[in-house]
A and B are shown apart, each in its own frame.
Chain A
Amino acid sequence: QQPVQSPQAVILREGEDAVINCSSSKALYSVHWYRQKHGEAPVFLMILLKGGEQKGHEKISASFNEKKQQSSLYLTASQLSYSGTYFCGTASYRTGNTPLVFGKGTRLSVIA
């Protein structure tokens, strides 16, 4: 069952912040985040394994609330290069890290 991402799309001006949410109805083992630019393959950003864990990647960070089966991706001081579609991928406790089920994506557009 696909995780649900929100919002479906967001437009930001350079320097603004955004939050992308990912929720699942299943108990989760891990949450992955990927970014895909138009016409390209998805690129791995980060993985979160434990409840309450937060990770960072430059000005992009994420949290994972294991009890609520939710993860959020935080983009701060957005840059034009952040534009793309962001996907979360989730793995349940039964299967460990594999296989991943992806959400439908959140399209992020950063404008000057």
Chain B
Amino acid sequence: NAGVTQTPKFQVLKTGQSMTLQCAQDMNHEYMSWYRQDPGMGLRLIHYSVGAGITDQGEVPNGYNVSRSTTEDFPLRLLSAAPSQTSVYFCASSYSSSRANYGYTFGSGTRLTVV
């Protein structure tokens, strides 16, 4: 199994550009989420989804959009990139709360720099 696959691994954007970070999982997990990681800040939740067609905001949703049309994919869109969005982005997936003994599986991350 591939687990959670994120693309691209690295990206440099200019201020104002838009882009989509891809996340796909092949474990039939209901739950998927996006986190950003900045030095000294830990992992902060951007958006999450408990199933296809259902999404919700996390702690730091401004400037990001998500959609979940299939169980497997959960892309994160940056609408108009800003230097404050320079970060490492992680996608994570898990089973739903009905199978609460399972932890999250993280993708390998996307390192984004906005100049």
Contact = CB atoms under 8 A, between A and B. Distances in A.
Interface residues of A, number: 27
Given A42-B43, A104-B41, A99 B103 contact: no
Nearest to A2: B42
A49 B97 CA distance: 11
B100 A49 contact: yes
A62 to B, nearest CB: 12
B70 interface: no
Interface stretch (B10-18, B20-28, B79-87, B104-112): B104-112
B42 A98 contact: no
Nearest to A49: B100
A9 B113 CA distance: 27
B18 to A, nearest CB: 25
Contacts of B104: 32, 34, 42, 44, 89, 100
A45 B107 CA distance: 16
Interface of A: 2, 29-30, 32, 34, 40-47, 49, 87, 89, 95-105
30 contacts: A29-B100, A32-B104, A34-B103, A41-B107, A41-B108, A42-B43, A42-B104, A43-B106, A45-B103, A47-B103, A49-B101, A89-B104, A95-B97, A96-B97, A96-B100, A97-B94, A97-B97, A98-B31, A98-B33, A98-B48, A98-B96, A98-B97, A99-B33, A99-B48, A99-B56, A101-B45, A102-B44, A103-B42, A104-B40, A105-B42
Interface of B: 31, 33, 35, 40-45, 48, 50, 56, 58-59, 90, 94, 96-97, 100-109
